[in-house]
Structure 1
Amino acid sequence: MLRHSRPASWDWSKGSIAPAGLAASVAADDGRPVARTEASRPSVHARRLLIRTRIMGVPPSPKSRDQPGKAGRYCAGRGTGNRAAPGRGISAHERGGRVPRRAVFMRVLTLSAILILWWSCAAAQDSCVVHGHVLGCDGKPMRSAFVRPFGPGRSGHLAAATPDGEFQVAFPRPGGYFLVFGGVHHQTLFMPLLIERPGPLELTVRLSAASYRSSFDSVQVVGDFNDYKSEGALPMSRRTDGTLIASVPCDRDTLRYQLLGVQTGTLPICGTQADTFLVDRRNPMLGNQSNSFISVLKAERKPVQVVFDPARLPRGYDEPVITFADPLRVAARIVDISQDMSRRGRRISDALAAAKAAGRADSFHWDASPDLKSLATEIDGERATLTRAYLLLNYVHLAVYAPDSTKARRILAEIPPDSPVWSLEWGGPDKTFYDIGQMAKRPALWRDYGERVVAAHPDSSVRAAFLYDLLEEAQKSGDKERAGRYYTQLVGDYAGSQYADWSKKQYGPNRAVMVHKPCPDFALAGLEDSARVYRAADFKGKYVLIDFWATWCGPCVGELASLHRAHEKFKGRGLVILSVSFDEKRETVKRFRSGKWPMPWLHAFLPNGFASGVAAAFEIVGIPRPILIGPDGTIVAVDEDLRGEKLDGTLARALGGDAGRLGPRGALTAPSSPRMPRWSRPSQVRSRRPAGRSPS
């Protein structure tokens, strides 16, 4: 008689799951429990025999049936050590009858199904289902929409919304995640999602419409007919009814296209005329932009008349509206904080844009004290642990303008190493953790906390990010033992992460860009004249400082004062500087050089930036990346030795001269402090962040 009706039970003697058939072995034939003792515990042979006979239906061999102290002791269930009496514990067909193979197969199949069902039920106990509606700015379903989850256990697979806007996404367990919402002609939304307990979570999202230009006088069509490039884009002509039209050639059954000159900025947007829409997987999704869809028209291998009707563009809502069915959930509070930080960030971005328009970008300074004061009040009044932790991290995001060591140390003391809020840092928490270390000014405390996160956090991407920060710190401090240990763990345990890739390119023993190694060959088109190509052979016999940079990169601009002084001091000693821009357009660099920083040296332009072959050859994972090449074509110095105060000393040692003549950096030099990140890196998916925080 079985004592349990569950498909499986816990075998405490083995510390593992035992199938239901084995549960009967802990009770006597008359149902009385038998104590588990060393004397009564069945042998390995007996357990194997039980599985063969009672579960798989395979009759035991005569030798096995007649062995005293093995099958007899176990099948009788008495623990006496005597051979089983005939008919006790083994059925008649088990004593000699043959069981058809079909019966054996069915029993194995049944057992497998029971085990699968048990594991499914166990996993379902921790699972979380997020469901609801994603709607347009008018509160109605959009022509096409999607939801894309990111986080531990979710790799970012798209989930299409139904025609009425319904969606459902399952998560394996509670924790920190992101949901990305996209809709036709609406801005893509990146929403942090903190699930504090298993079960369903319902919400409704109303996206904000795309931001359009004031007039549509220069709308162009790009698509699969010209590989979506702005070169070769077809202009649209205006008709009397206010619509625009263009004849687009097509040699396929369908035409896929997008429009330039519709939304603000340079990104394309899908057209208003479409038989269907496809998600654009060619480019990364961008927060607060509408570049995620491609319009598709039936073409039948002949030119298509593409019509754009501005009146069909949705308009309304400057920011998305997110409503939770249960507003008391922690997830709702986290989203409120995130939206509040986005509003603060937009104010900073707008102020910076105004300063650039007025030609005061270099002297721009944001007074963050009112924002920091209000955030500090919220932190002190917040009782929920997770919410307070998220507020503290967002305080650090704004505190780059006014570093606060007290709050940084509070984070290291209050936030548990396994807290899910670390998973709510879009792009990874490495940048935030780096800033915390710079503000706290307690290296030992910072390292100890980082190592505890690596040991305890359930999110592998968070562990990899912290390990990467620890590796960088160990490298800069010269601790080779720790650096080697961190590097081995990072590239071994997190081989598929972006942090492992960065580490190999920056610190790998076999990397191509190292001191004393030959410089990779290159061919770079000139900035002013694209026909002028700079090659490695052109600089033989000279010292050349190659500086990979961009105007949008704050740390890059922060190095320009040092570069200008180095140019003035060493240009007569054979030093050549070649700045290689990662900007999207040449005109952007030209306008930048007409301001405070003329950069009177050689310039090249690198299309595709981080995705280019040159970036791969030079193992560039972030900018600025300065590299000093000697007259014989070998690498003399890289990275930190060519930045800030170290630049003058490195050049003086290489070219000869007094390294101390320039003295400390003056007012023109951007300070190396937590106010400015040390790197700007590419990101597969970017969201809007406060100005001054480079995406990591």
Structure 2
Amino acid sequence: MKYSISIFNLFSILFVISCAPDQESGFIIQGHINSLENGQAVLSKLDLDTNQKIDVDSSQIINGSFSFSGTIESPYLHSIFLNDSLGPIHLFLDNSKIKIVGNIDSLENVTISGSREDSLFHSISLDAIFEKETGMNLMLNKNDYTFSAFVAYYQFQVNQISLDTMKAIMRGFSSDVKQSEYFHQVSTLFKTLEATSKSKSAPDFTVPDVNGIDVSLSDFRGKTILLDFWASWCGPCRKVSPDLVKLHNQFKDRNFTIISLSVDDSRDRWLKAIEDDKLDWTHLSKLDGWGQVSKNYGVMAIPQNFLINPDGIILNKNLTIEKLTERLDQLLPKSPS
């Protein structure tokens, strides 16, 4: 399954700008893009605690060239935007002298050199970050790279990895990686995943529905629930909507319902997606983006789902539609014919 994350969900780092960094301790980025008009380049990141995009530095573009310099406490993924509308160029930034060279008509194929961390980052596709086999290989065999802690942050969320295996992966990271912001985020995430694992009570919450009426998860005690995290802007979420409609129609008369919790921040887009996709069940959102409820469930990539029994106990997490259909058919008594 493909997952959707605001690409800036991949960018968080403790970042300190320095006017004249020592090349041994700081970074220098020198970029040149052929045929790029004069203007401005912006280096951005996202704070993983708030999921807010932050512009950390800007540089004039002169004759296709731009540069940034500074110091970061640990490697982290950043993005470079050019003249507002071009890019992003993704860069797993570390304290190195980095060169970026490319053409305006193929920014996705720029050449980035000089960074140990970025060389590993660019050796796989963004989609592969979510693939379990690729992720396990990186987390176990490249555990002296901060990029592998970054991979763990998403692998732990979306794949079926046992808590014991997660602990072993975390123990295996090098001492330098354990000092990174990504490892800190993984450690915090692990505690949340532990609290929302199979057989644990699903954290209760109260969130407004489409009519602005507060609805609590506990209001649905006595029913089997699929708690679905999604957003109108999430392509993979929208792609699975027809399958969710079929699932709902198949089991809605067997004491089952879906609660979709959106991480949207636009009411109009949220309501339009519900109508367009014909999602006829309970929809909740505080319209605050990645808010506290998603944090309480360890959800920072979507779609994700939790199957919850009538007593509010988590049965399964992130089951495919096929597995959900099979599981619900086992759990729910058929309606009398």
TM-score, normalised with respect to structure 2: 0.65
SS at match of 1:609: coil
State the alpha-carbon separation in 2 of the partners of residues 542 and 176 from structure 1: 43
State the alpha-carbon separation in 2 of the partners of residues 555 and 498 from structure 1: 25
State the one-letter code of the partner of 1:605.
Answer: S
State how many pairs are aligned: 295
Partner of 1:647: 324
- What is the correspondence of 1:81-480 to structure 2 with a 5 Å cutoff? 124=23, 129=28, 147-148=42-43, 157-158=56-57, 169-170=68-69, 180=80, 186-187=84-85, 190-191=88-89, 331-332=100-101, 335-336=102-103, 339-341=104-106, 387=111, 418=116, 420-423=118-121, 431-434=126-129, 443=133, 447-448=136-137, 451-455=140-144, 457=145, 460=146, 462-468=147-153, 476=160
State the alpha-carbon separation in 1 of the partners of residues 188 and 323 from structure 2: 24
Higher relative CO (Cα under 8 Å, sequence separation at least 6) belongs to 2
State the alpha-carbon separation in 2 of the partners of residues 171 and 424 from structure 1: 22
State the alpha-carbon separation in 1 of the partners of residues 182 and 77 from structure 2: 18
Q: Is structure 2 residue 246 aligned with structure 1 residue 565?
A: yes
State the alpha-carbon separation in 1 of the partners of residues 199 and 217 from structure 2: 16
CA displacement, residues 571-605 of structure 1 (integer Å, 9 cap, x when unaligned): 1121122222223333323333444x312222223
Q: Choose 1 or 2 for highest CA Rg.
A: 1
Shift in alpha-carbon separation, 1:657–1:508, aligned structure 2, 3 A: farther
Deviation at 1:194, TM superposition (A): 10
Out of 181, 203, 219, the position equivalent to 1:497 is 181
State the alpha-carbon separation in 2 of the partners of residues 181 and 470 from structure 1: 27
Contact 2:243/2:321 (8 A) holds in 1: yes
State the alpha-carbon separation in 2 of the partners of residues 132 and 555 from structure 1: 33
Contact 2:230/2:302 (8 A) holds in 1: yes
Partner of 2:10: none
The CA RMSD measured in Å over matched residues stands at 4.9
State the alpha-carbon separation in 2 of the partners of residues 470 and 566 from structure 1: 26
Partner of 2:14: none
Partner of 2:6: none
Partner of 1:628: 307
Deviation at 1:146, TM superposition (A): 7.3
Deviation at 1:453, TM superposition (A): 3.2
Shift in alpha-carbon separation, 1:497–1:655, aligned structure 2, 3 A: farther
Out of 245, 264, 283, the position equivalent to 1:603 is 283
Out of 191, 196, 220, the position equivalent to 1:513 is 196
SS at match of 1:636: strand
State the one-letter code of the partner of 1:550.
Answer: A
State the alpha-carbon separation in 2 of the partners of residues 510 and 132 from structure 1: 40
State the one-letter code of the partner of 2:126.
Answer: K
State the alpha-carbon separation in 2 of the partners of residues 509 and 194 from structure 1: 26
State the one-letter code of the partner of 1:541.
Answer: G
State the one-letter code of the partner of 1:170.
Answer: S
State the alpha-carbon separation in 2 of the partners of residues 421 and 657 from structure 1: 54
Contact 1:548/1:582 (8 A) holds in 2: yes
State the alpha-carbon separation in 2 of the partners of residues 537 and 449 from structure 1: 40
State the alpha-carbon separation in 1 of the partners of residues 221 and 293 from structure 2: 19
State the alpha-carbon separation in 2 of the partners of residues 125 and 517 from structure 1: 48
SS at match of 2:208: strand
CA displacement, residues 87-123 of structure 1 (integer Å, 9 cap, x when unaligned): xxxxxxxxxxxxxxxxxxxxxxxxxxxxxxxxxxxx6
Contact 2:139/2:152 (8 A) holds in 1: yes
Contact 1:564/1:599 (8 A) holds in 2: yes
Shift in alpha-carbon separation, 1:503–1:625, aligned structure 2, 3 A: farther
Partner of 1:21: none
Mind listing any 5+ residue stretches in structure 2 that lack a counterpart? 1-21, 46-53
Out of 271, 278, 294, the position equivalent to 1:615 is 294
State the alpha-carbon separation in 1 of the partners of residues 246 and 204 from structure 2: 28
State the one-letter code of the partner of 1:650.
Answer: R
Q: Could you tell me the percent identity over the aligned residues?
A: 19
Shift in alpha-carbon separation, 1:651–1:341, aligned structure 2, 3 A: farther
Q: Is structure 2 residue 260 aligned with structure 1 residue 579?
A: yes
Q: Is structure 2 residue 234 aligned with structure 1 residue 538?
A: no
Shift in alpha-carbon separation, 1:522–1:423, aligned structure 2, 3 A: same
Deviation at 1:470, TM superposition (A): 6.7
Deviation at 1:556, TM superposition (A): 1.5
Contact 2:203/2:296 (8 A) holds in 1: yes
TM-score, normalised with respect to structure 1: 0.35
Out of 208, 216, 219, the position equivalent to 1:525 is 208
Deviation at 1:192, TM superposition (A): 5.6
Out of 474, 477, 485, the position equivalent to 2:168 is 485
